[in-house]
Structure 1
Amino acid sequence: MALDDLDQKLITELRHDGRLSISDLAKTLGVSRATLRSRLERLISSGEILGFSVVLKEDRHELPVCATMLMAIEGKRANSVIHQLYGMPEAQSIHTTNGRWDLVVELGAADLAAFDAILGRIRMLEGVSATETSLLLVTHKRTSSNLRQF
């Protein structure tokens, strides 16, 4: 499905605040409520928008222990592994990739003990055949999403 300018603007607004009402979104984007509702329903039914999520206050603070985990997945279990990772707040981002590794997961933990615990939980997931993890020592540049304060 090709996304036009209005679709892109709608998605951008929802990424900034997924709680905006249809009325507020329509007003911001300069379209009628009926147009906006139709667009939103089309984006959801086509699978362009898979769902809405909640950003918790605890997710916004910087976790002192950060790492990148490369994961190899057995067979066709990537979707199952990704689904399980979604439920782990320590998995801050999940990326599919090509080459030797199937997934790249950015991890965050409060301390080394919590980091060790999440490594153990992830390595025990059914479908994970190998991992390689590197601690991130110093972040020289970070680009983050523009989350609005509530």
Structure 2
Amino acid sequence: MGLDTIDRAILDVLRQDARTSVNALAQRVSISRANAYARLRRLTDDGVIVGYGLRTDPVREGFHASAYVALSVDQSDWQHIRSGLLAMPEVEHVALVGGDFDVLVLVRARDNRDLRRIVLEEIQAFPGVRSSRTFPIFEDLDAVTGRRGAD
């Protein structure tokens, strides 16, 4: 389905605050409440909106070390590796990518010692992980707000 400018405006408002009421949403995008409700229903029914979530500041949540971990993997083991990564509470995001590496993983840890354990003792232990490269995160910026975490 194609999205028009009003649909995109609705998504932008909800990305800023998913708790926005239908009345406030309608006002912000200059449409009627009934139209806003119908568009939300259509966007959800069509699978454009797949859920509503919560964004947190990882540091305030107790995760003082974060890193992107790039993995080279045996493709035949991808499903097993994927399942294992998704089961790890410290893993926030997993992406199968093209390029020099096969998988990019966002890891949140209590501190550097915990990050070392997660990468070297857990992720590297998955059968089929050939190598990893860790990229520490020095500052997180929220792509929606442009601010750090929950600031």
TM-score by length of 2: 0.70
Give the AA of the match of 1:144. Answer: D
How far does residue 28 in structure 1 lie from its aligned partner after superposition? 1.0
Write the distance in 2 (CA, Å) between the matches of 1:149 and 1:67.
18
Q: Which runs of 5+ in 1 are unaligned?
A: none
How far does residue 81 in structure 1 lie from its aligned partner after superposition? 3.4
Q: Which runs of 5+ in 2 are unaligned?
A: none
Tell me, what secondary structure is at the counterpart of 1:24?
helix
Write the distance in 2 (CA, Å) between the matches of 1:134 and 1:44.
37
How far does residue 14 in structure 1 lie from its aligned partner after superposition? 0.9
Q: Which residue pairs with 1:77 in the alignment?
A: 79
Relative to structure 1, the CA distance from residue 121 to residue 36 in structure 2 (aligned partners, 3 Å threshold; closer, same or farther) is farther
Alignment of 1:14-93 (within 5 A): 14-56=14-56, 58-59=57-58, 61=60, 63-71=63-71, 72=73, 74=76, 77=79, 81=83, 84=86, 88=89, 90-93=90-93
Q: Which residue pairs with 2:10 in the alignment?
A: 10
How far does residue 48 in structure 1 lie from its aligned partner after superposition? 1.4
Cα deviation, 1:70-127, whole Å, max 9, x if unaligned, reads: 2335466289539826x73x434443312453321232323122213432444566xx
Identity, % of aligned positions: 21
Q: Which residue pairs with 2:104 in the alignment?
A: 104
Number of residues paired by the alignment? 143
Cα deviation, 1:40-95, whole Å, max 9, x if unaligned, reads: 11111211122111123x5364954332212335466289539826x73x434443
Bigger-Rg structure (1/2) = 2
**Quick check: 100-109 or 38-47, which moved more?**
100-109
TM-score by length of 1: 0.70
Relative to structure 1, the CA distance from residue 35 to residue 144 in structure 2 (aligned partners, 3 Å threshold; closer, same or farther) is same
Give the AA of the match of 1:129. Answer: G
Write the distance in 2 (CA, Å) between the matches of 1:103 and 1:68.
10
